[in-house]
Every structure is written in C-alpha cells, then in structure tokens.
Amino acid sequence: MPSQKIFLSILVGLICVGLSLCVSGWAQPPQQQEEIQAAKDDASEEIKPAPKDIKEAIGIYVFLGWIWISIFVLIYILCQKIKEADRIYRLKFFSSVKK
C-alpha cells in the first residue's frame, strides 16, 4: 500500500513537471521563438483593445453589472442558508435526544 502511494505521488509529480515544461515554452523549438521575437520587433503600431462602438461599451458594462449583482445575490442566499442552519442547530432539531 505505501509503495502505491509513493508511485502515484511520483507519477503525479512527473505529469505536473511535464505539463509545466510544455506550457512554459521550453518545448518550443528555438526557430519559433526567434520568429515570434522578430514579429514583435516588426510591429511598430501599438494596438489598444477597446470596444468598437458605444453599443459594445455599454454591453461590457451591463455584463459586468450582471456579474456583480449575481455575486451579491449568491452571497445573500449563502448568508440566509447559514442563518437557517444556525437556527436549526439552536433548536437541536437533529439531536439524538428527543423530548
């Protein structure tokens, strides 16, 4: 049993190292890295990401508003669930000793 745990931990570690190497860029051939650097140097115009028109800008703000509203609603619901759980605990609803 301990040998299985050691084997699994080594296997997971090797998988994590392999994935991190692939993501970090060590797995890219050097030619590609030079081409990417050359393309970055050639780009003299700086591109700033921005909405194209007022409709897109308003859409972004509406989306962010809905996200924040949903976060606050979920936090409120969670607080209500916690209050209900505390109330049931104080009533000893699930206690093994019944009156």
Domain boundaries, the chain: 1-45, 48-99
The mean per-residue pLDDT over the stretch 27-54 comes to 68
Supply the pLDDT for residue 10: 75
Give pLDDT, residue 19. 63
Largest CA distance in the chain: 82
Q: What is the pLDDT of residue 13?
A: 72
Q: Residue 91 pLDDT > 80, yes or no?
A: yes
- Residue 83 above 80 pLDDT? yes
Mean pLDDT of 44-57: 80
CA distance readout (Å), 11 to 3, 15, 19, 54, 83: 12, 6, 12, 52, 44
